[in-house]
Amino acid sequence: MMLAVAERKNRIPDLLKLRGLTVYALSKKTQMPYHQVNRIVTSPAIPDGIEYKTLRRLAEALEVKLDQLETEE
């Protein structure tokens, strides 16, 4: 019997679109370097090893809870 493994999906691009923000605007709002924010936003899933405080800043800027940055499919 095979177990289904849920794939993680990065929801940040959807949240940006929903709020009418760009990656640049998000980087300014979080006071994080553009290249760091862009790397996270363009990944299919939020990369492992991202610090909690970084994710918290993104969630706060997007006005969502931490667990809403990613979904499992």
Q: Which domains does the chain have, with CATH numbers?
A: 8-67 (1.10.260.40)
Taking phi over 0 as left and psi of -120 to 50 as alpha, with beta for the rest, 31 belongs to: left
Q: Can you read off the two tokens belonging to residue 8?
A: 């993680």
Share of the chain above pLDDT 70, in %: 92
Of 32, 24, 35, the residue nearest 55 (C-alpha): 32
Distance CA 47, CA 5 (A): 17
Q: How confident is the model at residue 17 (pLDDT cuts 50, 70, 90)?
A: very high
Give the pLDDT confidence score for residue 1 in this predicted structure: 59
Q: How confident is the model at residue 3 (pLDDT cuts 50, 70, 90)?
A: low
Distance CA 3, CA 52 (A): 29
Are 10 and 69 in contact by the 8 Å Cβ rule? The answer is yes
